[in-house]
Structure 1
Amino acid sequence: MRKALLASLCLLAIVGGGAAAAPRIVNENVTVAAEPILNFGIGRAEQVRFGKLDYLGGIELLAGNRHVGGLSGLVVSPDGGSLLAVTDNGLWFRAELEQDAAARPLAIRNASIAPMVGPDGKPLLSGGLADTEAVTRNEKGEVFVSVEGRHSILAFPAPFDLNERARPIALPQGISKLRYNKGLEALAASPSSGPLKGALVAIAERGQSYDDDMPGFLVGGARPGQFTVRRSGDFDATDAAFLPDGDLLLLERRFNLRHGIGMRIRRIAAASLMPGAVVDGDVLIEAGFTHQIDNMEGLAVHRLPAGDVILTVISDDNRSILQRTLLLRFRLAE
């Protein structure tokens, strides 16, 4: 595993981390096999607790269809039994997730892929809006997707349909000043009952320079505006999701030659998210080469009937034979 990841890091350094060639536009069912990942810690079969999370289980997604890959954002249904993801080149990926009573993932069923349809009725891939990086769904069932290269957020109406046409939403002016390839990477819809009153929270992958903090934006809701997320440990933002209590979880990724591969999840208090604020958060988990991770880019949250809060994390394999598409499940241990 380490050799494969190191080779992948070298490959990304050579090509500049860019996406693979755009696939042909498709709309079809796909078969996805699942290889179980029983242990999160490599060589530590007995360990369950990692930071403030308990590892439930995971699967590696294996598909013969070359269009299944590059998964960069994720939402799950309230029962955790179905998922909707976006690829980094403007495709939807939807599937049913077979799971046990503890929410441990077992298999992928009834998977399908489809091109996202832009505001002009054409596939995003044909209009330069295909650099899709995150997806979220609000309590009304509306789906929102962030586009990194064009610094935009697209809305899809409820009830959601794979063939629905997107509409752009108005955004704060500061979003247009983000770096071209380090734009809106994380997106989450806040609870309507919380202090943000249903606002979208969008966070850029990185600031203007390598050392700058990450710009964040509150779109709509009770207190719209811009805030900043403290950057540390060479981690970049990749996705976000809200907990039932209103706190924000921020998924971060480290993927460079200096430090290798890494994953971190921070918990940011809802009360701290306001215009002008510089926010940080408690680290729930940090993982690296000694854990079963890859380029982790998607995060979703749901709650079991018994009250347990479940985190689902998915990786973007960059459509590289040296990387993997992993779907991992954790339980919030607090």
Structure 2
Amino acid sequence: MFRWLLLALVIVGLAPGTFVRTRTGLRSDVAVVTVTPVSERGGVTGALTLTGAWELRSTHGWFGGFSALVGDGAKGLIAGSDRGWLLDLDLTGAAPRPVPASFRFVGIRTSARKEVVDLESLARDSATGTLWAAFENANLVMRADPDGSRTIRRPPEMAGWSRNSGPEAMVRLNDGRFLILAEGSQGGGPEDRPGLLFAGDPVASAAPLAFRLVSGADYDPVDATQLPDGRVLILLRRVEYAIPARFDTAIMVADPAAIRAGEAWQGEIIQRLSGAMFGDNFEGIAFVPAPGDPARGAVWLIADDNFSVFQRSLLVTFDWEG
């Protein structure tokens, strides 16, 4: 009985807006975002070197909940939240800088009183600036074109995915294919994180190739990004049920060339992150190439604060030496 009570309290604690962040103001208010360096450096083991950490803060009532991250060329990042907002980050200075007035709502209104807002993953075409967002609960993908038009599709292959553990990771590969991973297991095993590989734009493509990701050790995939050599970094997360909840993060590298229809796709964990700042809920990952050498660059992570006073909107970066 105590276990169930503890689990219920943790779930309530993870529910956005609890313990206790009260929304104030209007959606149309301009978000003033501050970036504060974080000195913590513990909890990191593996191949990558942690080179920077910052906390993002704003009094805007809908600020936080960042669950997706994608590179915006060599100069920036776009962060997406599970309340349907985007934030542009400028990386041209010594520290990341929020682009003024860039915090904007991109959720999908389906009726006068209903919206699709649970944005969990982003992908981008660097040549055109086209942006894709995948939403849980509805298990749909939205394409936002540079001219402001939007196209929405619910791929039938995602219809059976859990409403709360749907398309959590999405990446547009360099050859134009799209990789989408579900967070939730369909059968409870470590080889049962469903994945789909689309030949092109998931809003327009024919039936994708279906496979399974071996995430292992109770980890769930929460985001992905492609490296210059074609491999993919997959951000993995698991929850330790406590009050407050604690999170354990890992980074896996896997080769999309090894994906086969109906088979298990495996990778290698190259980084483990736990304790200190990495007890927070990291849900977004993006690779940003170095301006002078695209084979090198930086791996960025962003944390979802779940709109909880116990958690933070953290942004951290690691060197990628190629």
Normalised by the size of structure 1, how large is the TM-score?
Answer: 0.81
> Is 2:119 the counterpart of 1:132?
yes
SS of the counterpart of 2:158?
helix
User: How far apart are 1:108 and its partner, in Å?
Assistant: 3.5
SS of the counterpart of 1:177?
coil
> Is 2:308 the counterpart of 1:320?
yes
Q: Note the residue ranges of structure 2 that are not aligned, 5 or more in a row.
A: 1-5
SS of the counterpart of 1:67?
coil
> Is 2:17 the counterpart of 1:20?
yes
129-138 or 206-215: bigger deviation: 206-215
Q: Map 1:192-271 to 2 at 5 A.
A: 192=175, 198-212=176-190, 213-221=192-200, 224-257=208-241, 260-271=246-257
Q: Structure 1 residues 292 and 309 mapped into 2: Cα distance closer, same or farther (>3 Å)?
A: same
2:280–2:303 CA contact under 8 A, matched in 1: yes
- C-alpha distance in 1 between matches for 2:82 and 2:141: 14
User: How far apart are 1:309 and its partner, in Å?
Assistant: 2.5
User: How far apart are 1:202 and its partner, in Å?
Assistant: 0.6
Normalised by the size of structure 2, how large is the TM-score?
Answer: 0.83
- C-alpha distance in 2 between matches for 1:90 and 1:125: 17
2:14–2:308 CA contact under 8 A, matched in 1: no
1:39–1:57 CA contact under 8 A, matched in 2: no
11-20 or 128-137: bigger deviation: 11-20
> Is 2:72 the counterpart of 1:77?
yes
User: How far apart are 1:317 and its partner, in Å?
Assistant: 0.2
User: How far apart are 1:59 and its partner, in Å?
Assistant: 0.5
User: How far apart are 1:244 and its partner, in Å?
Assistant: 1.4
288-297 or 136-145: bigger deviation: 288-297
- C-alpha distance in 2 between matches for 1:124 and 1:85: 26
- C-alpha distance in 2 between matches for 1:255 and 1:133: 17
Amino acid at match of 1:182: S
Q: Note the residue ranges of structure 1 that are not aligned, 5 or more in a row.
A: 1-8, 43-48, 193-197
- C-alpha distance in 2 between matches for 1:260 and 1:322: 10
- C-alpha distance in 2 between matches for 1:179 and 1:14: 17
User: How far apart are 1:333 and its partner, in Å?
Assistant: 4.0
Q: In structure 2, what is the equivalent of residue 3 of structure 1?
A: none
- C-alpha distance in 1 between matches for 2:13 and 2:261: 33
**RMSD, matched Cα:** 2.9
SS of the counterpart of 1:174?
helix
Q: Structure 1 residues 15 and 268 mapped into 2: Cα distance closer, same or farther (>3 Å)?
A: same
- C-alpha distance in 2 between matches for 1:125 and 1:266: 42
User: How far apart are 1:249 and its partner, in Å?
Assistant: 1.0
User: How far apart are 1:94 and its partner, in Å?
Assistant: 2.4
1:295–1:317 CA contact under 8 A, matched in 2: yes
Counterpart selection for 2:60 from 56, 62, 65: 65
Amino acid at match of 2:210: Q
Q: In structure 1, what is the equivalent of residue 133 of structure 2?
A: 145
Counterpart selection for 2:272 from 268, 278, 286: 286
Q: In structure 2, what is the equivalent of residue 175 of structure 1?
A: 158
Q: How many residues align?
A: 302
Q: In structure 2, what is the equivalent of residue 34 of structure 1?
A: 35
